[in-house]
Amino acid sequence: MTRSHTARRLTATVAVSLLPLLAACGNDAGTGVESHSSDGGTTAAGSSGQLDVPADANADLKKKYLLENAIAACMKKQGFTYTPVVPEDPADSWATNGADYALTMKYRQKYGFGIYAGIVYPHDTAASGRTAAQQDSDRTPNADYVNTLTPEQKTAYDKVLGGPPDPKAGAKTWTGCQGEADKKVYGSASPQERSTTTAGQNQANAQALNGDPNLVALAQSYASCLRKEGVSVTTTQPTGIGDMVRLQALASTPPGAGGPVAVDAEGDSQKSLSKEEALPLLTKDIELAMRDLKCGKEFRAAYFPKFLKAPTSGGGAG
């Protein structure tokens, strides 16, 4: 699991000397700075509070909550407001991608694999297949708060907040409050070391899933059903078959299926398909997605409980 969500949400600007800029933020008896609320007024630094860690969260998710709380506490000490952002539970992102059969069916009956849905339903945020948390990832209270700061205050804020290690500079740890929080929650191991450990665990988890006799048998039945439906089968591995049909559909999409920002192999912009052009393609996409879902019903019911308990980096059962 990565912390890219946190890094993406926290916009960074050029870091410069902090001390002279802190004075520009106002004076406070405790820290020498004054926190600014998102409505343009002033509040006590750190007034956003702390997140309650769900009792049923797994160890990795609990650490993500603790990380957000630690960042907020550190920022408060430095005189800035940081609102801890509720981490997304990885299980939620799979709910309409196979883990919950009923929800996935409801999604696919309208959007298929989501390849053309964004064109047909341009104002429907669910058409993208992103979770609510992912859709709101760039609209956090912190973004609103930072927008109320002056350029000098923003620079000071970003300096205190810190950022990821810079490989070019040979850095191995996060800086600022993110670095302090990272060390407090994850210990002395660097992000690179943890990434290596995670990659090894992902590989071990994938091997276990692909070697599970029950999953192997169910994947074979899944593949047989797909073949009867006229769908090409390129893998029967448990970690690959669930995403296979969707990835094949994505690979065969015509130019412009990705919307107006789509580009071709040379990087040139492609004209988006019109709604009228995309509608029949969406109908076919829905039919294919439903055949895939029904063929894989028993497989997914057995696969996801094991996958979510010991996930791999890819997943493969959408």
In tens, the pLDDT along 215-272 reads 999 999 999 999 999 999 999 999 999 999 999 999 998 887 765 445 555 666 567 8
Distance CA 192, CA 189 (A): 8
Q: Are 300 and 101 in contact (CB under 8 A)?
A: yes
- The pLDDT tens digits of the residues spanning 63-118 come to 999 999 999 999 999 999 999 999 888 778 788 889 999 999 999 999 999 999 99
Predicted confidence (pLDDT) at residue 15 exceeds the cutoff of 50: no
Residue count of the chain: 318
Q: Which pLDDT band, with edges at 50, 70 and 90, does 141 fall under?
A: confident
pLDDT of residue 129: 61
Distance CA 189, CA 186 (A): 7
Q: Which pLDDT band, with edges at 50, 70 and 90, does 166 fall under?
A: confident
Predicted confidence (pLDDT) at residue 316 exceeds the cutoff of 60: no
pLDDT of residue 19: 29
Most confident of 53-57, 71-75, 305-309: 71-75
The distance of Cα 300 from the centroid of its chain, to the nearest Å, equals: 22
**Average pLDDT for 22-37:** 35
Burial classification of residue 15, based on how many CB atoms lie within 10 Å of its CB (0-12 exposed, 13-18 middle, 19 or more buried):
middle
